Amino acid sequence: MKYRSRIAIVLVVVIFLMTTARTLAGIPRTGSCEELKNADELWWAGQFHETHELYVEVAGSENHTLLDRVGAMQRLALQARLKYENADSALSLLNRAVQLGEASAFSFAMMSRFVLEEGLTDSAMILAKYSLAESQKLSDSLQAVLALGWAVLEFGEEAYLTGNSIDTMILRDAAQKLNAAGQLVPSEIDFWDCLLGVSLLLRDGPLAMHAWKQYLEMGPEDSLFNLAGGSIYDLPELLSSWNGNDLDDKSRRVLLKALSASRMFDYVILVATSPGLSDGAELARDPEIADILDYTELVTQARSLINHIYRKRLMGDSTIAADIQEFLGLAYNYWQSLDYPGERPEFSTDEIGAQLSRRWGAIFCSVDFSPESFDMTWGHEVRTEIRELDQYEHRIDIKFIDLDQMVSTGMMAWITDGDVQIGGWTPTPEAVYRIRPAWNRSGTRTWESLTSPEKRKQIQDRISSLRMTDDSLANADPYSNLPGADLRLQYATQQRLHDSMLSIGYTGKVLRRAFIDEYQRLKFESSIVAHEGRHAIDMAFYGEEFETWDAARVEMSGKLSEILFSPDPWFTVGNSSAVFYAGDTTSGHGAASRLMRKQLVDWMDEHSDKIDGFDHSRATLPQLDLLTTEQLLAALRELDPLAKAGQ
C-alpha cells in the first residue's frame, strides 16, 4: 500500500493563537485591536503582502492605543527582517516602538535576535540585558533569558574557534539564568538546548549532563549511555569528571558520537575543534568522526540555503530555480561522498533522503522542489515511544516519534515565524511523527492570560463583545465558525483546569508548573496520540479504501478521535482546532471542522428538549457549551464510522 501518498493530507497543522507562548518566534503578541487581529489572520493564511498596509495604518494612527501601535511596529519589523532581510529597517521600527514606552521587553528581545543574526554578538548581549531589565511578566523574562543565552553562546563560540580566551564569568552567568528559566518551564527545551552549548564551552561535564538529560526529557534514573542503543558507555563517566580540562582525542570521539546520536549537530564544532591545542586533523581521520563532520556541514549549508530560497519565493524572484539547483547540488555532492556497502544506486532525492534517515535520523515531510512552491520540513528523530492504542477495540502498536533539531520547519512556518506550521503527521500505520518545538511552548502565556487581571478583563470583554457577532453569524449560517464560542470555550476550560489544580492545594510556582505540565499533557494526548493515532488505525483497518478518502474525511476521522479519546473532551474542544478552525476553511481541516459543527447543531436541534437551558429563540451553535460531556460524546459518536461499526 502506498501510505506515503497520504502524507500531504494526514498532517496536524498547528495554528498558535493569542494565548500561545513563543520563545523569540512568532507574530508578536503586543496589541489586541481588531485591525491587528484581522491582519494576523491574513498573515496566518499566507497572505503576507496584504498585511503590510494594515500594520502601517495602525502604527501611524493616534486613534489607536500605544500598545496597539507598538504591536504593529513589531510586526512590521518582523516582516522587514523576514521578507527583505533588512536589519536596519527592522531595528529602526523597534527603536520607535521602544520610544513609545510599551512592551519594551519584547522589542529589545527582537532587536537582540536580529543583531545576533548579523553577527553582532556584543550588541545582542546588551540588548538582551535591556530586555531582561524591562521584563514585567514571566513570558518577558523567559524570552529575555533565552535571547541572552543565544547571544552569549555565539559570543563564546566565536572566541573559542578563533583561539581567544573565553570570559567564563559571562558564560557562568548565562548558564545560571538558563538553568533557572528551564526549571520554571522544563518543557520549553530551548533553554536546555542553549545550556548544553554553554556548558560545552565551559567544559563543565556535570552541567552538560544535566542539560542534555533535560533536553531529551529523561527521568532522574535514566542514563545518557542509552544514546545510540547503549553504545556510548563511557559518556556518563566522561561528563561526571570533565571540569575545565581539555579533552583528549578519545574523549572527543565519545562526546561527538553522543552529540550525533542525540542529533545535536550544532555543537559538533565545539567538540571537534580545539584551536588552542591542535587543528583537529588527527581526529578527523577517524572515518566515523569524519562522517559526523560532513553531515554537520551539510546541515549548516542546507539550513542557510533553504531559508534563502524561501525568501526568494516570497519575493517572487525569478532566479529561484538556480538556488534550488544549488540545493540539489549540495545533496548530490554529499551523496557522492557516501560509502555504500555494495553497488551505488542511482542518485535521487528519495535515495538521499533514505540515506540521511538511516544514517542520521533525518526525517522529511512536504518536500517540493518546484520553483513556485518549494517547501521542506526536515528534522531529526530525538525521542521514540512505543504505545498500544485502542480505539473502539481496534488495537495497534504505534511508534510516537519526536522530531527536533530542525533544519527547516517549512515555508509557512518560516513566513509566519512559527505561528503556523506542521505539528505532526502519520505516514504509515506504524509511526506518528511530532515536531516537538511546535508543541512545547504553549503553556506560559495561557497561564498568564488566566492570572493577569488585565488579560482576564480583555478576554472577558472580548467574549461579551463577540456574543452578538456569533448570533449574527449563526443566524446567517447555522454551521459557521464562531470566534466568540471558540474563545469562550477556550477560556472556560483553561479556567477549569487552573481551578482543579488550585483545589488540589497547589499554590505559587508549584501551581504554575502543575498547570503548564497538565496543559501540555492534555494537548499531546488529544492532538497527537488520539488524532494522529486514529490516522494510523484508519490506514490499518480500512486498507486500500483509505487511499480513496478525500482530505476532509481523513481529517474528520482524526478530529473525532481527538475529542472522543481525549482525557478531557471539553478541554480539547476549547483548545484545539477540532470544532472551531481558524485556518483555511476550504482545506481538509476546515471542511472537516465544518462537518463536525453540522453534526453538533443537527444533534442539538433533534435533542433540544434534553439540553438544560436551551433557548429556542437563539441560534443553536452559540449554545454548544450547554451540552453535558456525555451529550457531546454521544453526538460525535453518531458521526464516527468506526464507532458505528463497533455497535
pLDDT digits (tens, 9 = 90+) for 313-340: 998 899 999 999 999 999 999 999 998 8
The more confident residue out of 210 and 454 is 210
Closest CA to 532 of 437, 433, 419: 433
Determine the pLDDT at residue 442: 66
137, pLDDT greater than 50 = yes
Domain residue limits, the chain: 295-417, 444-645
- CA 486 to centroid of chain Cα atoms: 22
Confidence of residue 598 (pLDDT cuts 50, 70, 90): very high
The more confident residue out of 188 and 211 is 211
Question: pLDDT per residue over 362-398, tens digit each?
Answer: 999 989 999 999 999 999 999 888 999 999 999 999 9
Determine the pLDDT at residue 646: 58
9, pLDDT greater than 70 = no
Q: Whole-angstrom Cα distance, residue 223 to residue 213?
A: 8
C-alpha cell at 571: 478541554
229, pLDDT greater than 60 = no
Q: Whole-angstrom Cα distance, residue 47 to residue 38?
A: 11
**Cβ atoms of 208 and 242 closer than 8 Å:** yes
Determine the pLDDT at residue 342: 85
Confidence of residue 596 (pLDDT cuts 50, 70, 90): very high
Helices 34-44/48-60 angle, 10° precision: 160
Strand partners, 420: 15
Q: Whole-angstrom Cα distance, residue 638 to residue 556?
A: 13
Confidence of residue 423 (pLDDT cuts 50, 70, 90): confident
Q: What is the pTM of this model?
A: 0.88
DSSP 63: T
Closest CA to 365 of 11, 2, 1: 11
Entry field: residues in the chain: 647
Determine the pLDDT at residue 2: 38
Q: Is the dihedral of CA 319, 325, 331, 337 positive or negative?
A: negative
The 394-409 sheet, strands edge to edge:
11-15, 420-428, 431-435, 394-409, 375-391, 362-368
354, pLDDT greater than 70 = yes
185, pLDDT greater than 80 = yes
Q: Whole-angstrom Cα distance, residue 373 to residue 318?
A: 13
Determine the pLDDT at residue 220: 72
Determine the pLDDT at residue 46: 76
Confidence of residue 12 (pLDDT cuts 50, 70, 90): low
Q: Would you call 10 helix, strand, or coil by DSSP?
A: coil
Q: Whole-angstrom Cα distance, residue 30 to residue 517?
A: 25
Averaged pLDDT of the chain: 89
Determine the pLDDT at residue 8: 38
606, pLDDT greater than 60 = yes
Confidence of residue 228 (pLDDT cuts 50, 70, 90): low
Q: What is the mean pLDDT of residues 489-517?
A: 94
- CA 171 to centroid of chain Cα atoms: 27
**Cβ atoms of 516 and 447 closer than 8 Å:** yes
The residue assigned the cell 546541515 is: 299
User: What percentage of the chain exceeds 70 in pLDDT?
Assistant: 92
Q: Is 151 exposed, middle or buried (0-12, 13-18, 19+ CB in 10 A)?
A: buried
Q: Whole-angstrom Cα distance, residue 200 to residue 190?
A: 16
Confidence of residue 225 (pLDDT cuts 50, 70, 90): low
Instruction: Tell me the residue type at 204.
Output: D
Strand partners, 428: 431
586, pLDDT greater than 80 = yes
Question: pLDDT per residue over 456-482, tens digit each?
Answer: 888 899 899 999 999 999 999 999 999
C-alpha cell at 65: 492605543
**Cβ atoms of 399 and 406 closer than 8 Å:** no
Question: pLDDT per residue over 510-551, tens digit each?
Answer: 999 899 889 989 999 999 999 999 999 999 989 999 999 999
**Cβ atoms of 57 and 37 closer than 8 Å:** no
Q: What is the mean pLDDT of residues 32-42?
A: 86
29, pLDDT greater than 60 = yes
